[in-house]
Structure 1
Amino acid sequence: MTETFVLVPGMWLGGWVWDAVAQRLRAAGDRAIPVTLAGVGERVDEGDADLEQHVADIVAAAEGSSNVVLVGHSYGGLPVTAAAARIPVSRVVYVDSGPLPDGTRQLDMGPPPESTGPVPPRPWEPADDPVLLAGLDDDALSLLRKRSTTHPYASVAQPLRRGGALNPPASLIASTFSLEQIAQMRAAGHPFFAAMGDDVVIRALPTGHWPMLSEPSRLASLLRA
């Protein structure tokens, strides 16, 4: 059965970051739709888009397709969670993200930005962040430095509101969290995994936080599986 993968990136990146994964999915006979969210990447000039706009971007990308699999990486897990509650999809895959509960903001996940303006991209220096940037070669790092853009502040400040009742099957591909760490965080009630039920399938893909660049073949295989 042919599936349609709607691929949603995290902060600062356009749909281009999924190119290598999309190529492999298409070669295997599936459809792949990389999404560039409003105010980011090639759409950086579209202003301070909020989280609801990003949900609308995902819904629009999936429109008219069948057997839709929504894939959300990092920040992309937030709008994907809301979109999956509003439109019929066959499943949802979180890549180093998770089905966060209503009321969660990306702003709560890390140090606050220095201002309420567009959030600047990270410097992409492995020496400063060896865990998250693990596995990225010089070409990938150069691409990230060249093509990453600011990210709209409104989208990281707006709380998640699912706004729907659909609850499709979900999977989690963990790259910077081990399966043991996830189990411990869930047991401790960590908000990152607070909305994840026991039916969520968890698969490990040990690498850095951007497996679509460091391990595109393995990530594509896990998505299809």
Structure 2
Amino acid sequence: MTETFVLVPGMWLGGWAWDDVAAHLRAAGDEAIPVTLTGVGDRVGEDGPGADLERHVADIIDATRGHDNIVLVGHSYGGLPVTAAAARIPVSRVVYVDSGPLPDGSRQLDMGPPPASTGPVPPRSWEPDPLLAGVDEEMLALLAKRSTTHPYASVAQPLHRGGSLTAPTTLIACTFSPEQIAEMRTAGHPFFAAVADDVVIRSLPTGHWPMFSEPVRLAELLRA
């Protein structure tokens, strides 16, 4: 059965981040729809108070219209709006890439050091570090060139699912091992506290951006 993969990137990146993965999915006979969220990438000019988490949820839902057998895929920050979208519309599956189904009330703002201001969040440094493991110099240069600011409103607004997350769910773990995820879940860590018993965890040991470091393997895991 042909599936439609709706691919949602993390912060600072447009849908282009999924180009290699999308090409492999299409070559295998599936459909791939990379999403550029409001206020990011080539839509950076749309940033403003309305470019919040709810707007990003709406972006994802809009991308699904007219399609069947939808698989929502959220990387990093993209897991937040994907969680709400999957709770509000019928989907076949949900896949989190180095992310997870965070509980209501979660904010991206609480996941790391706070931004220096309430203005657009500047891109991270794309200098090599452990989170960028496997990303080559050419891609690092492209990331430095094409990444944009990210809307502050989207990282400050708490998650509101607005429904129940019932679709089969998979976590693709890159910077955490399945064992670490189990331990963090038991400890009630917010990253994985909402992970249900029936969630499937697949390991893809690499950096935090597997769409650049392991696009072929990531596409295979998405299809699996």
Q: TM-score category by the smaller chain?
A: over 0.9
Displacement after TM superposition at 1:198 (Å): 0.8
Distance 2:12 2:164 in 1: 30
The corresponding residue for 1:56 is 58
The corresponding residue for 2:222 is 223
Aligned ranges for residues 131-150 of structure 1 at < 5 Å?
A: 131-150=130-149
Distance 1:33 1:216 in 2: 15
Displacement after TM superposition at 1:167 (Å): 1.5
Match for 2:91: what amino acid?
A: V
Q: CA RMSD in A?
A: 0.6
The corresponding residue for 2:174 is 175
Match for 1:93: what amino acid?
A: V
Match of 1:10, SS state, is: coil
TM-score under structure 1 length normalisation: 0.98
Match of 2:135, SS state, is: coil
The corresponding residue for 1:165 is 164
Match of 1:85, SS state, is: helix
Aligned ranges for residues 1-225 of structure 1 at < 5 Å?
A: 1-48=1-48, 49-126=51-128, 130-225=129-224
Distance 2:157 2:223 in 1: 32
Displacement after TM superposition at 1:179 (Å): 1.3
What is the percent sequence identity of the aligned residues? 80
Structure 2: 5+ residue stretches without partners: none
Displacement after TM superposition at 1:172 (Å): 0.2
Displacement after TM superposition at 1:140 (Å): 1.0
Residue by residue over 1:17-70, the C-alpha shift from the partner in whole angstroms, topping out at 9 and shown as x without a partner, is 000000000000000000000000010000220000000000000111000000
Structure 1: 5+ residue stretches without partners: none
Distance 2:190 2:145 in 1: 33
Aligned residue pairs, count:
222
Match for 2:166: what amino acid?
A: N
Match of 2:171, SS state, is: strand
* 8 A Cα contact 1:87 1:166, kept in partner: no
TM-score under structure 2 length normalisation: 0.98
Q: Which stretch of the first structure deviates more once superposed, 67-76 or 173-182?
A: 173-182
Match for 1:212: what amino acid?
A: M
Q: Which stretch of the first structure deviates more once superposed, 110-119 or 176-185?
A: 176-185
Match for 1:26: what amino acid?
A: R
Match for 1:82: what amino acid?
A: A
Distance 2:125 2:105 in 1: 29
* 8 A Cα contact 2:186 2:193, kept in partner: no
